[in-house]
Amino acid sequence: MTYVTKIYMPPKEKFKKYIDGIYESGWLTNNGPLVQELEKKLEEYLGVKNLLCISSGTDALQFAYRLLQQDGKEVITTPFSFVSTTSAIVAERLTPIFADIDRETYNIDPSNIEELITDNTIAIAPCHVFGNACDIDRIDRIAKKHNLKVIYDASHAFDVKYKGKHILNYGDISIISFHATKMFHTIEGAAIVIKDDELYEKAKIVRNYGIDAPDSVAMLGINAKINEVEAAMGLCMLDEEERISKERRASFYFYKRELKDYVQLQKRNPDATQSYSYFPIVFRDENEMKRVREELLKENIAARQYFKPSLDTLPFVKSKVMKNSRDIASRILVIPMHSNVEPIVSKIIIKTLEEIREKEECLV
Assigned domain for 6 exists: no
- The domain that contains 301 carries what CATH number? 3.90.1150.10
| Whole-number pLDDT of residue 258 | 98
pLDDT per residue as tens digits for the range 99-111: 999 999 999 999 9
Tell me: pLDDT of 18 over 80. Answer: yes
End residue of a domain, out of 186, 208, 235: 235
Domain boundary (235, 257, 287) is at 235
Q: Does residue 66 lie within any of the structural domains? A: yes
List the CATH number of the domain containing 66: 3.40.640.10
Q: Are residues 229 and 246 in the same domain?
A: no
Give residue 101's domain range: 12-235
Average pLDDT over residues 182-206: 95
pLDDT band (50, 70, 90) for residue 262: very high
The percentage of residues in the chain with a pLDDT greater than 70, rounded to a whole number, is: 99
The mean of the pLDDT values for the chain is 95
Q: Average pLDDT for residues 220-236, to the nearest whole number?
A: 95
For residue 134, being part of any structural domain is answered with yes
* Domain end residue (candidates: 235, 261, 281): 235
Task: Give the pLDDT of residue 364.
Answer: 58
Q: Same domain, yes or no, for 292 and 346?
A: yes
HEC sequence for the chain: CECCCCCCCCCHHHHHHHHHHHHHHCCCCCCCHHHHHHHHHHHHHHCCCCEEEECCHHHHHHHHHHHHCCCCCEEEECCCCCCHHHHHHHHCCCEEEECCECCCCCCECHHHCHHHCCCCEEEEECECHHHCCCCHHHHHHHHHHHCCEEEEECCCCCCCEECCEEHHHCCCEEEEECCCCCCCCCCCCEEEEECCHHHHHHHHHHCECCEEECCEECCCCCECCCCHHHHHHHHHHHHHHHHHHHHHHHHHHHHHHHHCCCCEECCCCCCECCCCCCEEEECCCHHHHHHHHHHHHHCCECCECCCCCCHHHCCCCCCCCCHHHHHHHHHEEEECCCCCCHHHHHHHHHHHHHHHHHHHHHHC
Same domain as 185, residue 59: yes
Q: What is the pLDDT of residues 326-349, one digit of tens each?
A: 999 999 999 999 989 999 999 999
Residue 2 domain-assigned?
Answer: no
Give pTM, 2 decimals: 0.96
Decide if pLDDT at 352 tops 80: yes
Q: Are residues 96 and 199 in the same domain?
A: yes
Tell me how many domains the chain contains: 2
Domain assignment of residue 5, yes or no? no
Q: Average pLDDT of 209-221?
A: 87
Q: Are residues 325 and 338 in the same domain?
A: yes
